[in-house]
């Protein structure tokens, strides 16, 4: 439980009728991908998502390669990823920003600001300007959290409950697809024309995103003043809502444990490739590509599974697949490790999309940004911690022991959902009109 809350001030939120139905296999009210794309505003948001993700994916990996070229230091290049991860600590503040202002104008301004900030990298010429790279990457990563938090609320405003699962799946597939293509394009541009070309392309992508967002027609919910809350209460409201909710609390705990534990794989994967498989480090790109391709498939199929089996079952299934995938990386066999990449792509994607759909359905409009940001923090911070623990232990413990431990922890993550009875489904008699956020 988060600090600063009591049972009397924050009663346990009851599940909405729509979400209560979606927990079980009777969730046949979930729409299809085609249904979601029939909404003009969502089509526009999807197009904007293509451009912003292309710019993001092209820059983040290319920046690390560029720093390596400038300095010759692996540590300096690795700090790029540290700068990308640190904004997770600001998530509660970022979420509050997304809940205090209308989301569409916030997204437009955020993308224009991102386009301007990225251009600062044009002034970096030598390793003496390296500090500028880290500042820009940190700022740019922070803007990504703003985008995620504000977009969650905007998506909730433009779509009915039944369309959230397919919409989240489509956006996830776009994200994963561009993560495969964009870094290759970015690295190619870096090789042919230098980092300036990548910077200009990224900035242009953010500008195009902002221009597309301006054209969206969506009726936004009122941000809400919450005048009775002090700064601390308001900032932590998303965390406290997740911690007290009957459905979201066990599901969030499941994600924090299962996906957070996979941070260990960021360290052990190199040992898997080199020691276990006897392959060069470049083989990692093959595993990442396979995982990305299956994540695309996972995005397209998530709503089908949720419609057939319900959110709770899909989360548990995804965690089980992830645990099996982790264990596969300890086996010195290329086919087995590749199969693990397939399972990782599907398992993580199904789990995250199912949870995001539940969170969007259950969170009131005024908390969409803060619950979104809190979710990012509760997943990313455990991953960073697991990464650091693995880095400290990898030299003294066999990498396979770390992998087996990770697999066990992933499975343990499903326990909060497995032990919880879905008794709240009896609240579903209110009909589909009872869910929040109808527009």
Most confident of 147-156, 261-270, 283-292: 147-156
pLDDT band at 6 (very low <50, low <70, confident <90, very high): very low
What tens digit of pLDDT does each residue of 334-375 get?
Answer: 999 999 999 999 999 999 999 999 998 898 888 888 888 888
Q: Residue 225's pLDDT is what?
A: 53
Residues 6+ apart with CB under 8 A from 119: 199, 200, 203
- Among the listed residues 298, 427, 408, the one whose alpha carbon sits nearest the alpha carbon of residue 354: 298
> Given phi > 0 = left and psi -120 to 50 = alpha, else beta, which region is 84?
alpha
* Residue 388 Cα distances to 329, 376, 385, 391, angstroms: 19, 18, 5, 5
- 31: helix, strand or coil: coil
Average pLDDT of 214-241? 77
User: Which residue is it, tokens 């880095």?
Assistant: 391
Mean pLDDT of the chain: 81
Sequence-distant (≥ 6) Cβ neighbours of residue 158 within 8 angstroms:
39, 41, 42, 45, 216, 218, 439
In this structure, what token pair is assigned to residue 5? Answer: 């809350």
The listed CATH number (1.20.140.10, 3.40.50.300, 3.90.1170.50, 1.20.1250.20) that belongs to domain 17-217+233-428: 1.20.1250.20
DSSP string, 315-370: HHHHHHHHHHHHHHTTSS-HHHHHHHHHHHHHHHHHHHHHHHHHHHHHS-GGGHHH
DSSP letters spanning 208-269: HHHHHHHT----PPP----TTS-HHHHHTHHHHHHHH-TTHHHHHHHHHHHHHHGGGHHHHH
Q: What is the pLDDT of residues 169-184, one digit of tens each?
A: 888 888 888 877 877 7
pLDDT, tens only, 72-104: 776 677 678 778 878 888 888 888 888 888 889
Which tokens sit at 99? 């809940």
Helices then strands (H, E): number in the chain? 19, 0
Q: Which two three-digit tokens encode residue 235?
A: 């900032």
Query: What is the C-alpha separation between 291 and 338, in angstroms, rounded?
Result: 8
Q: What is the DSSP string of 402-422?
A: HHHHHHHHHHHHTHHHHSS--
């Amino acid at each position: 439980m988060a600090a600063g809350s009591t049972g009397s001030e924050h009663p346990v939120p009851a599940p909405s009728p729509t979400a209560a139905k979606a927990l079980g296999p009777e969730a046949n009210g979930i729409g299809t991908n085609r249904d979601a794309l029939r909404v003009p505003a969502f089509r526009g948001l999807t197009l904007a998502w293509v451009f912003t993700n292309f710019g993001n994916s092209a820059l983040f990996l290319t920046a690390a390669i560029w720093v390596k070229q400038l300095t010759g230091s692996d540590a300096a290049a690795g700090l790029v990823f540290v700068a990308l991860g640190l904004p997770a600590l600001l998530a509660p503040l970022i979420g509050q920003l997304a809940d205090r202002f209308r989301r569409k104008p916030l997204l437009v301004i955020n993308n224009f600001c991102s386009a301007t900030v990225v251009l600062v990298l044009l002034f970096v010429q030598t390793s003496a300007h390296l500090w500028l790279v880290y500042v820009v990457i940190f700022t740019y990563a922070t803007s990504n959290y703003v985008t995620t938090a504000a977009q969650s609320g905007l998506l909730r405003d433009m779509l009915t409950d039944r369309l959230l699962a397919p919409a989240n799946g489509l956006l996830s597939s776009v994200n994963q697809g561009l993560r495969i293509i964009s870094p290759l394009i970015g690295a190619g541009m870096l090789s042919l024309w230098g980092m300036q070309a990548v910077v200009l392309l990224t900035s242009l992508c953010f500008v195009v995103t902002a221009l597309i967002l301006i054209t969206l027609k969506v009726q936004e919910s009122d941000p809400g003043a919450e005048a009775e809350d002090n700064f601390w209460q308001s900032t932590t409201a998303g965390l406290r809502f997740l911690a007290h909710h009957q459905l979201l609390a066990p599901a969030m705990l499941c994600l924090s444990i299962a996906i957070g534990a996979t941070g260990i794989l960021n360290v052990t994967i190199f040992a898997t490739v080199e020691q276990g498989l006897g392959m060069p480090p470049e083989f990692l790109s093959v595993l990442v590509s396979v995982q990305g391709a299956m994540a695309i498939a996972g995005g397209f199929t998530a709503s089908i599974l949720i419609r057939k089996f319900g959110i709770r079952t899909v989360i548990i299934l995804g965690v089980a697949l992830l645990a099996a995938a982790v264990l596969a990386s300890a086996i010195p066999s290329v086919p087995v490790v590749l199969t693990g990449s397939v399972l990782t792509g599907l398992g993580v994607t199904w789990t995250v999309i199912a949870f995001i759909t539940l969170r969007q359905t259950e969170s009131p409009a005024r908390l969409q940004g803060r619950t979104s940001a809190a979710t990012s923090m509760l997943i990313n911070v455990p991953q960073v911690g697991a990464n650091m623990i693995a880095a400290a232990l990898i030299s003294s413990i066999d990498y396979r022991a770390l992998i087996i431990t990770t697999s066990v922890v992933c499975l343990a993550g499903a326990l909060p959902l497995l032990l919880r009875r879905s008794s709240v489904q009896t609240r579903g008699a209110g009909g589909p009109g009872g869910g929040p956020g109808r527009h």
